[in-house]
Amino acid sequence: MEASSKRTRVGRYTRAAGPAKTLTPLALDLLEFVGEFEILSVPLLARVSDLSQKAVRRLMRVCFDHGLVSIVAVPRALLADPSGSNSAALAFGSAPNIFVLTAAGQKLLHDLGRLERTRPVKRYGPQNGAFLGHELLIKSVRCFLMLASKRSEQESLQQWREDADAAISLDNPGAPKQVRPDAWFTYALGNATLVAFLEADKGTERGSAGRWRDKLTQYEALFTSGRLKVVTGFNNARILVIAPGAERRDRLSAFIKAQASAFLADRFWLAEQTVLGEPSLYHPLWRRPGRNEMFPLIMPPHVGDNEAST
């Protein structure tokens, strides 16, 4: 009798049978973050919400049982740091839970006024796990900026454009036709504004050198076409590159120094992925092509230079 009364454990990817637990305001807040970012892992949800990962897992389980989110099933190895250990442990187990809204989740948030627009539901899984790692790195940068902005009343992430929304037409009769950063954003710093394009580099793509040559050609066209001011409202911008580790960061820095014009190379700021761990723009963790010392992304106090302001 006692054994039969024990609650059956529900599988990770199986919704609980029967009525789901009550959807609390805190669970709705987490659901809104997923809607805003489109896809988030438990660690990123914990960071952006300032909750423990245990609390996030518990609350998101309720959202899952209500059919408002799906859990993306990917092996741990597909999201592992390529510069880290290649031990046999990566062959076993799954990555931390990664959530995307279902159509029902989008409808609920939209009906509550918490989601501006619904989007086609993207399908993620083991077959596009490498792409998923790239997507989560972009989300990590956005999370980093949001958290950094909370440390000062003078700072705020004002614009964020990502994926297809970040593409900029160059109005060029010849090639290149457009530049496609992973994202671009404007970040207010008191009386200055940081405008930046993001390149999230995982260091795993084949033909990487050719891809980066194409990017340099596109950015050169952007900065000399006048389109930067038209699209962003600002005359100058930086190009931020997040690499998986110091070796990849330094290789890219040397490549950019050798391949780009001096004007364009000076727009680039490169950091390894660990820079995202501490949400601050003031740590000297950024490399600039052709320079040996490391720089903070922003020099305190909040005084913009030609690259960070109008």
Question: DSSP code of 76?
Answer: G
- Provide the β-strand partners of residue 186: 159, 195
Question: Which contiguous run of DSSP H or E holds residue 200?
Answer: strand 192-200
pLDDT at 4: 43
**Residue 292 C-alpha from the chain's centroid:** 28
Tokens for 62, please give them.
């309720």
Q: Quick one: average pLDDT of 152-173?
A: 91
In 3-state terms, what secondary structure has residue 242?
strand
User: What does the pLDDT look like over 38-53, one tens digit per residue?
Assistant: 999 999 999 999 999 9
User: Where does the pLDDT of residue 142 fall: very low under 50, low under 70, confident under 90, or very high at 90 and above?
Assistant: very high
Q: Which bin fits 67, alpha (ψ -120 to 50), beta or left (φ > 0)?
A: left
Residue 5 has pLDDT above 50, yes or no: no
Residue 308 has pLDDT above 60, yes or no: no
Residue 269 has pLDDT above 90, yes or no: yes
CA distances from 263 to 194, 204, 270, 286 (A): 18, 28, 16, 18
In 3-state terms, what secondary structure has residue 129?
helix
Residue 96 has pLDDT above 60, yes or no: yes
Average pLDDT, the chain: 86
> Is the Cβ–Cβ distance between 240 and 271 less than 8 Å?
yes
pLDDT at 93: 57
The type of residue at 291 is R
pLDDT at 82: 54
Tokens for 147, please give them.
């958290």
CA distances from 112 to 38, 59, 142 (A): 17, 19, 24
Q: Pick the residue with more confidence: 296 or 308?
A: 296
Is the peptide bond prior to 43 cis by the omega test (within 30 degrees of 0)?
no
Residue 253 has pLDDT above 70, yes or no: yes
Q: Quick one: average pLDDT of 257-266?
A: 97
pLDDT at 277: 94
Residues of the chain by 3-state class (helix, strand, coil), percent to 5:
40, 20, 40
Question: DSSP code of 185?
Answer: E
Q: Quick one: average pLDDT of 116-133?
A: 75
* pTM exceeding the 0.95 threshold for the entire prediction: no
Within 8 A by CB and 6+ apart from 66, the residues are 20, 23, 104
Residue 261 has pLDDT above 60, yes or no: yes
Please report the domains of the chain, with CATH numbers, ordered by start residue: 25-124 (1.10.10.10), 141-295 (3.40.1350)
User: What does the pLDDT look like over 204-242, one tens digit per residue?
Assistant: 655 578 899 999 999 999 999 889 999 999 999 999 999
Residue 91 has pLDDT above 60, yes or no: no
Q: Quick one: average pLDDT of 49-78?
A: 90
Q: What number of other Cβ atoms are within 10 A of residue 134's Cβ?
A: 15
pLDDT at 38: 93
How much of the chain exceeds pLDDT 90, in percent?
Answer: 66
pLDDT at 74: 75
Terminal C-alpha separation, the chain? 73
The type of residue at 53 is Q
Q: Which bin fits 113, alpha (ψ -120 to 50), beta or left (φ > 0)?
A: left
pLDDT at 1: 42
Question: DSSP code of 37?
Answer: H
Burial class (CB in 10 A: 0-12, 13-18, 19+), 84: exposed
